Amino acid sequence: MATEMSGETAIKGKGKSVKKRTSPLLFYRQVVAELRKVIWPTRNELVTYTTVSLIFVIIVVAIVFGLDNAFSWVVLKLFG
């Protein structure tokens, strides 16, 4: 597939380097080649990961909500 990488070429006598631009077609081919390497999750894995993520977010929201209420109650008691 598209194995050409955009490298650097030196400018004579300047000591600087200029990055070679990748053409849009080469970039598209590289993207397609990388997407073919991806191991996509099955439907069951996707549902499991989504459920675990949502449960974790709900737990963290509950903790933050509880701490916020506790701190606001303490501040109201201290400063009236």
The conformational region for residue 8 under phi > 0 = left, psi -120 to 50 = alpha, else beta, is beta
pLDDT for the residue numbered 7: 53
| One domain, residues 12 and 23 | yes
pLDDT for the residue numbered 18: 75
Over the chain (80 residues), the average pLDDT of each successive run of 10 is: 54 67 93 94 97 98 98 94
CA distance 8 to 5: 10
List Cβ neighbours of 6 (8 Å cut-off, separation of 6 or more): 19, 20, 21, 22
| One domain, residues 46 and 80 | yes
| One domain, residues 27 and 57 | no
pTM of the model: 0.57
| One domain, residues 46 and 76 | yes
pLDDT for the residue numbered 5: 57
| One domain, residues 45 and 32 | no
Supply 16's token pair. Answer: 């600087």
Which residue segment(s) compose the domain that 50 sits in?
41-80
